[in-house]
């Protein structure tokens, strides 16, 4: 794509009625969506791609921004010949979804926003990101990863679903230091996308893990009240990684949403 390799997972459909594109959070990869791709109904086509610099996708750009990632998303849709798609983004994936909606909402058939928000970072959050950059740039990626895992998973996941933790730990440790640092700056400098919410007349599902320590209940409620056609799901026994921590509740809501609006 534009001279750059983009890795993606595909769930094919012989006669697709709709296409869903899953967008991963920071600092993860398309692998976090494998289970959701597998459970899609026959008539729904699904993609999960690695954002530039993450997973198996390459980058050739001197800096990252959420705006750049959103423009990459449209380049990806062009490359796989999809005119209009339902977007499902978790956390950073949600920031990218909302920035994409500001750029061109005509190409978005619906949105699923998981454990995310539409506001920019506070100064306190920016300063925390700068400390994380120092940690990783100083050669302590493992310490960063272990601290991050404690923040994103709820306690019961450590006991009941060690495979999910291991998956994400491996992904973080395999992400390059330069990608982690550049993406932290992209997160710190993202714009507030709240203004787009009220202009979206498309089906929307807001999902939040009940014990998410990164996104507040108020932020999920704000997305829900600003998006006219939205539903809000609170996922029990889940922190920030709701699709991995409680896949049965997450997948049931995903399938209900698809059958109601896209099948």
- Residues near ligand MLT (CB under 6 A) are 25-26, 91-92, 187, 214
The neighbour count for residue 231, using CB atoms within 10 Å, is 16
DSSP string of 243-260, one letter each residue? HHHSHHHHHHHHHHHHHH
Looking at beta carbons only, is 44 or 87 nearer to ligand MLT? 87
Looking at beta carbons only, is 30 or 91 nearer to ligand MLT? 91
Nearest distance in Å: CB 193, ligand MLT: 13
Q: Compute the distance between CA of residue 175 and CA of residue 190 in angstroms, rounded to an integer.
A: 21
Looking at beta carbons only, is 168 or 200 nearer to ligand MLT? 168
Question: Rounded to 5 degrees, what are φ and ψ at 101?
Answer: -65, -35
Looking at beta carbons only, is 40 or 187 nearer to ligand MLT? 187
Looking at beta carbons only, is 25 or 110 nearer to ligand MLT? 25
DSSP secondary structure letter of residue 85: E
Looking at beta carbons only, is 26 or 47 nearer to ligand MLT? 26
Cβ partners under 8 Å of residue 61, min gap 6: 52, 68
Nearest distance in Å: CB 26, ligand MLT: 4
Nearest distance in Å: CB 3, ligand MLT: 27
Nearest distance in Å: CB 107, ligand MLT: 22
Nearest distance in Å: CB 25, ligand MLT: 3
Nearest distance in Å: CB 125, ligand MLT: 7
> What strand order describes the sheet that includes 18-23?
8-11, 44-49, 18-23, 85-90, 108-114, 204-209, 230-235
Looking at beta carbons only, is 13 or 125 nearer to ligand MLT? 125
Half-sphere exposure of residue 164, counting CA atoms within 13 Å on the CB side?
Answer: 25
Nearest distance in Å: CB 219, ligand MLT: 11
Compute the chain's Rg from CA coordinates: 17
Half-sphere exposure of residue 260, counting CA atoms within 13 Å on the CB side?
Answer: 14
Half-sphere exposure of residue 180, counting CA atoms within 13 Å on the CB side?
Answer: 26
Q: For 147-224, where are the E strands, in sequence order?
A: 204-209
């Amino acid at each position: 794509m534009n001279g750059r390799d983009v890795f993606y997972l595909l769930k094919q459909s012989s006669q697709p009625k709709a296409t869903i594109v899953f967008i991963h959070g920071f600092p993860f990869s398309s692998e976090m969506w494998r289970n959701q791709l597998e459970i899609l109904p026959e008539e729904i086509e699904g993609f999960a791609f690695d954002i530039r610099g993450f997973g198996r996708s390459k980058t050739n750009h001197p800096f990252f921004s959420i705006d750049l990632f959103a423009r990459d998303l449209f380049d990806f849709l062009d490359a796989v010949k999809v005119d209009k798609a339902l977007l499902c983004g978790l956390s950073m994936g949600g920031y990218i979804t909302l920035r994409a909606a500001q750029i061109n909402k005509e190409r978005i058939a619906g949105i699923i926003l998981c454990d995310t928000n539409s506001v920019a970072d506070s100064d306190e959050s920016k300063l925390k990101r700068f400390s994380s950059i120092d940690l990783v740039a100083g050669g302590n990626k493992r310490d960063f990863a272990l601290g991050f895992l404690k923040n994103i998973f709820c306690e019961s996941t450590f006991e009941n679903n060690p495979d999910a933790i291991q998956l994400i730990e491996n992904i973080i440790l395999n992400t390059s230091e330069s990608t982690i640092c550049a993406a932290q700056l992209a997160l710190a400098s993202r714009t507030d996308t709240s203004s787009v919410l009220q202009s979206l007349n498309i089906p929307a599902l807001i999902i939040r893990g009940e014990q998410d320590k990164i996104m507040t209940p108020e932020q999920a409620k704000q997305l829900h009240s600003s998006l006219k056609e939205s539903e809000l799901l609170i996922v029990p026994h889940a922190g920030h990684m709701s699709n991995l921590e409680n896949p049965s509740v997450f997948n049931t809501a995903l399938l209900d949403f698809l059958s109601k609006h896209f099948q």
